[in-house]
Structure 1
Amino acid sequence: MPPTPATPAQPPAAPVTVTVPFRAGREGYASYRIPALVTTAKGTLLAFCEGRVDSGKDWGHIDIVLKRSTDGGRTWGPLQVAADNGANLAGNPAPVVLHTGRILLVHVRSSAAASEDLILTGKVSDADGRRVWVQHSDDDGLTWSAPRDITAQVKQPGWRWYATTPGHGIQLTGGRIVVPGNHTVPPAPGGTGAEPQYNCGHCLLSDDLGETWYLGYLDQNTDGYINVNETMAAELPDGRVYFNARNDSRSPGNRADAHSTDGGRTLVLPFRPQAGLAAPVCQGSVLQLRNPDVLLYAGPALTDARALMTVRASHDDGTTWSPVFTADGLPAAYSDLTRADQRTVGLLYETGDFGAYERIAFRRVPVTRLTG
């Protein structure tokens, strides 16, 4: 009998680099928006976003939903509701992982009927408008505490619109918690009420692990040149805090940034244009890597459309930037970054084949691709 041929060796399975934890129209929600991503002290990935029940609108019945991954984002557990406000809105998730292992979830709540236009024109009561809440998990994101209203500590009277980040907040090496935010102030007395509303920047700070909160810097530029919106923060190797923001204004480019040397209490200089980051008007995310020390930025790279999700790197604390990784050429919008493990950065971002909001994808990116 002829010898039985040896079974050819099978090539190793390709590594799982892209998964889709959230897909529009599935698991009870018409749309998923506004991703946020953290790695817990135990190494679990927590992917948060807004689950919009009825449509893709920014107001209405919206929950903060969550999926967990214990294998680096290769697979995801079942959908959880981390925060809900009944049939109203709970959104803008800003999770923070503490050195104790506790995970905070700072977010905003409002009435389902409180659209941005109604809030900006002062037609929504304080009770129905944007309010700030926090809750926590002590079991790696499996369950969450009852929420606490911290609005009186971090929102000044008269502010109308209010939003946290969106994306993850940070705990500094010294223990302080920093969660960026933005707000609008009402028109000056004697106006018509139809004056333009400019986004202004601030941050929420806590020095006691989230028990109490207070406001840090205020960047209230209302001349239309810098319009600070949707800010994220990173602690630089020298201890400074770097803030990078969407800029909906007439200054060069659509990004702005600033630094703080006192843990977010004040800014060295007000936000200024960061024209080195080509981007559309859209949220972007930042992450400071250690070993090696590289500051990363993720966001769409086209200037006139939300598409081409690209990670850029800075070796000079945000002064200059270079592209180091492009996910693909598809539509793309909001994002968040985390250090998934020693070899991998996780990128959670909105994307789709025909529009940027068809799904929220997760991508594993080798650190070596981002740092050289």
Structure 2
Amino acid sequence: MKLNRISLLMLAFFSYCFQFYLIAQPVKHDYVFKSGDDGYATFRIPAIVTTTSGKILAFAEGRVKNSSDNGNIDFVMKSSDDGGITWSKLKVIWNDGENACQNPAPVIDRQTGKIFMLMTRKLGTDKEPDIIDQKSNEAIRVFVMQSEDEGQSWSEPSEITKDVNPGNWTWYATGPCHGIQLEKGKYKGRLVIPCDHIEAGTKKYFSHTIYSDDNGKTWQLGGRTPQDQVNECTVAELPDGRLVLNMRNYDRTKKTRKNSFSNDGGESWSDLQPVETLPEPICQASILFSPVNGKLYFMNPADENNRVNMTLKSSNDSGLSWKTEEILHAGPSAYSDLTLINKNTLGCLFEAGEHSGYEGIVFATFEIKN
């Protein structure tokens, strides 16, 4: 009996040490946004795109006072002209005083070279539960900005709430991650942004898309998922022209991501399907299709229960099966985004830290292989 007790104690000790090993992993990549820098307590919610000339634009929420989703939050960015080796000084692209500018969803129109940034804005004093319960002082509003000089300057935010919210949605978020421009078939040229919302009354969570067919001049509401319990999502165009929407999943009977597919450019979506090989702890993730090798790439904290183990995976069968390419950070990690820098290189932007996943936003590259 004494031996069994000692064995159990040793097992518990080694289990604790293993958990600590996972949590206390040093970050091996460079921070683009480091919490505490440039007058911001925390940087969160990364998004990234590569312009037509090869410039990388990295976006984030600059949270002034703390790490909270509420309060004074600015939209900030940095750029890189050398593939992410060095980065520019921080630029604030939207500061709305004490209010919260959130959920970056950039997309590049390759036909015009313009960059569009879709985002949401709420009062800094309004909290998510009050917004969902319709007790907030103001509803969440949806905006778009654009840049015609690769992010050096941006237009004033233009509100599109009435165009993309039917009026009975309380919570609303764009992205947060990059959007896409469709390259095939009937809907070629369409700009598509993944989004999510909560219904008034039912308080059910859904994912949906919004899109533009006129090079970003106007935006309209696409389809929403037929089932609920999903929200933050990421979208990619498959080789056969279908779209795949990959979603954060709140259904804990299957601790995995969920997929939905569209045959009409995001105007409607198929029934939700669990993705058995993509475990998740209820967290945002990112997906990207590479035309170089025909593979889908996916990145998230690959753990069923905790935001740890930021992992890059690939699929050569349109997401039916997945192979682990690289564990980018074994320790605490959370939100992420992906970009194709050039035909040989994938750019990975993600939240990570040694003791907390919100110590900063780091950048890593991955060599694309056929």
Q: Normalised by the size of structure 2, how large is the TM-score?
A: 0.89
Matches of 2:322 and 2:311 in 1, distance apart?
12
Question: Is the deviation greater in 269-278 or in 29-38?
Answer: 269-278
Q: Distance in 1 between matches of 2:123 and 2:47?
A: 22
Aligned: 1:314 with 2:301: no
- Determine whether 1:187 maps to 2:188: no
Please say if residues 154 and 213 of structure 1, whose CA atoms lie closer than 8 Å, have aligned partners that are also in contact: yes
Given the alignment of the two structures, is residue 205 of structure 1 paired with residue 217 of structure 2, yes or no? Answer: no
Secondary structure of the residue aligned to 1:328 is strand
Per-residue CA distance 1:124-154 (angstroms, 9 max, x = gap)? 24xx221100010011101100110000000
CA displacement 1:311-338 (0-9 Å, x = unmatched): 1111111122121111131211100000
Q: Which has the higher strand share?
A: 2
Q: Residue 115 of structure 1 is aligned with which of 122, 127, 137?
A: 127
The secondary structure found in structure 1 opposite 2:103 is strand
Q: Does 1:163 align with 2:173?
A: yes
Q: How far off its partner does 1:84 sit?
A: 2.3
Q: Do the aligned residues in 1 keep the contact of 2:50 with 2:56 (CA within 8 Å)? A: yes
Tell me, yes or no, if structure 1 residue 154 matches structure 2 residue 160. Answer: no
Question: What percent identity do the matched residue pairs reach?
Answer: 41
The one of 105, 109, 112 equivalent to 2:117 is 105
Q: What amino acid is aligned across from residue 249 of structure 1 in structure 2? A: D
How many pairs were matched up? 338
Q: 1:235 Cα deviation (Å)?
A: 0.9
Asked whether the 8 Å contact 1:46–1:66 carries over to 2, the reply is yes
Q: Deviations over 1:38-72 (max 9, x none)?
A: 00011000000100011100111101100000000
Give 1:137's aligned residue: 147
| 1:42-57 map, 5 Å | 42-57=53-68
Distance 2:286 2:181 in 1: 16
* 1:201-280 aligned within 5 A: 201-219=207-225, 221=227, 226-267=228-269, 269-280=270-281
Q: Which residue of 2 aligns with 1:33?
A: 44
Q: Shift of residue 220 of structure 1?
A: 5.0
Equivalent pair of 2:193/2:211 in contact (CA under 8 Å):
yes
- How far is 1:253 from its partner? 1.9
Once the two structures are superposed, residues 232-274 of structure 1 have per-residue CA deviations (whole angstroms, 9 ceiling, x without a partner) of 101111111111010112341231111111100112x222222
1:258-299 Cα distance to aligned partner (Å, 9 max, x none): 1111100112x2222222201211111000011210001100
Within 1, Cα distance between the matches of 2:367 and 2:62? 29
> Aligned partner of 1:183: which letter?
H
Q: 2-side partners of 1:254 and 1:115: how far apart?
A: 28
How many angstroms apart in 1 are the aligned matches of 2:305 and 2:322?
Answer: 19
Q: Which runs of 5+ in 1 are unaligned?
A: 1-16, 189-196
Deviation of 1:25 after TM superposition, in Å, equals: 0.9
In the other structure, the counterpart of 2:341 is: 340
Aligned amino acid, residue 227 of structure 1: Q
Q: Aligned residue for 1:59?
A: 70
Contact 1:241 1:261 in 2 (8 A): yes
* CA root-mean-square deviation: 1.3
Counterparts of 2:306 and 2:76, CA distance in 1: 27
**Distance in structure 2 (CA, Å) of the matches to 1:238 and 1:291:** 15
Q: Secondary structure at the match of 1:258?
A: strand
Is 1:303 aligned with 2:313? no
Q: Are 1:87 and 2:103 matched, yes or no?
A: no
> TM-score, length-normalised on structure 1?
0.88
Q: Any idea what SS the aligned residue of 2:118 has?
A: strand
- Letter aligned with residue 238 of structure 1: D
Q: Report if aligned partners of 1:228, 1:271 keep a CA contact under 8 Å in 2.
A: no
Is contact 2:115-2:150 (8 Å) kept? yes
- Runs of at least 5 residues in structure 2 that lack an aligned partner in the other structure: 1-27
On the 8 A contact 1:19/1:73 being kept in 2, the answer is no
SS in 1 for 2:163: helix
Instruction: Judge conservation of contact 2:59–2:77 (CA < 8 Å) in 1.
Output: yes
More helix by share: 2
CA deviation after TM superposition for structure 1 residue 18, in Å: 3.3
Q: Is the 8 A contact 1:201 1:220 kept in 2?
A: no
Match of 1:160, SS? strand
